[in-house]
Amino acid sequence: MLNRIMKAQRLMDAACLRLGRPINVMEVCGTHTVSIFRNGIRPTLPEGLKLLSGPGCPVCVTDQGFIDVVLELAEREDCIIATYGDMVRVPGKSGSLETKHEADVRVVLSSEDAMTLAERHPDKTVVFVAVGFETTTPATAVAVGEAAKRDLKNFCVLSGHKLVIPAMRALLSDKNNQIDAFLCPGHVSVIIGSDAYIPIVEEFGRPCVVAGFEPMQVIEGIAEICRQVANDAPEVVSIYEGVVSREGNKTAQALMDTYFEPYDGFWRGLGRIPGGTLRLKEAYEQFDAMRRFGIEEIPAEEPQGCRCGEVLCGLAQPMECGMFETRCTPDTPVGPCMVSSEGACAAWYKYGRRRRRNG
């Protein structure tokens, strides 16, 4: 183990030396962000290596306009809102689902739970607020397929599902971006396969390394990135063998393709991303909450002073925000990066505090 760590350190040092400037590695996935903090990886990295937390927390990248739509639907007496737990506390224009005491909001653990709710409450319409990247979308696809089969009329989906590759492309297309390489999300890659990153390497010449979440995997993933940077040889490499294949989960991909289509939806902090959000195909429009209720998502301004947008693009660190730890804390979150436990701000708040206090 020590040998592996020392080898990784050597690769990192070599890359820092070759570049002659700090290397910025973006960890796309919120789970990597948390793993890096929890395992104390940050202080062990060479000074010239900077980790940027990317837009990999689904709650964090959900535009406030989408939250406002959820809150609008929650006010309807004929609706039950079913959603994954993290969404409940995200503030919109007027409060959050948590503060809408009159609303019927149910936290579910799977899309199937949402369907079961619909079957149990035939007098109400269950709106499944579906967020998440490719890891989560197939589960929603299965639910829509089964709802269609069972002709479940009181079930619909408000899709905020996002795609990782268009977001990476959007980040690199911004001329101010400071990203030298990506540490790619482990479990999104289980679905999309590591080959999905080839176009990013070909188009932008940035290393894309898929790694697991165990500390040694994260360190070796960063080391592999450094090896590529030092040799100026960007490529897609997966060091998450035995879990991530090159082609991914074909069944899940086919299901997503059957029920969803990409469109240019809004992301918090990143704006409208071409082909970055998924909505249900027209053939399944009866299950699309937006179409069913005739509502439109209007992109919202970020709360004044909130820098979540810049944090998500790797342009600012959480503590550079004036509200961090003062007005914005996990108990009183202003921006979404403080709401989700996987958000960069929440992770810095929780795990970075002790270190800052001590030094």
Among 78, 214, 247, 285, binds another protein (CB under 8 A): 214
Task: Mark the segment that binds another protein (CB under 8 A) among 176-184, 245-253, 270-278, 311-319.
Answer: 245-253
How many CB atoms sit inside 10 A of residue 123's CB?
A: 6
Binding mask 75-94 for another protein (x = CB under 8 A): ---------x-x--------
63 binding another protein? (CB under 8 A):
no
41 binding another protein? (CB under 8 A):
no
Please report how close the Cβ of residue 18 comes to another protein at its closest, in angstroms: 31
Please report how close the Cβ of residue 160 comes to another protein at its closest, in angstroms: 12
**Is 166 or 234 the residue whose CB approaches another protein more closely?**
166
Residues listed for the chain: 359
Q: Which of residues 174-193 bind another protein (CB under 8 A)?
A: 185-188, 190-191
212 binding another protein? (CB under 8 A):
yes
With CB under 8 A as the rule, give the number of residues binding another protein: 45
35 binding another protein? (CB under 8 A):
yes
C-alpha 274/C-alpha 241 separation (Å) is 31
Please report how close the Cβ of residue 55 comes to another protein at its closest, in angstroms: 12
210 binding another protein? (CB under 8 A):
no
Q: Provide the phi-psi class of 249: left if phi over 0, else alpha when psi is between -120 and 50, else beta.
A: beta
**Is 129 or 230 the residue whose CB approaches another protein more closely?**
129
Task: Mark the segment that binds another protein (CB under 8 A) among 110-118, 151-159, 299-307, 328-336.
Answer: 110-118
Contacts with another protein, residue ranges (CB under 8 A): 29-31, 35, 38-39, 56-59, 84, 86, 109-113, 132-133, 135-136, 138-139, 142, 185-188, 190-191, 212-215, 217, 242-243, 249, 251-252, 255, 340, 342, 350, 354
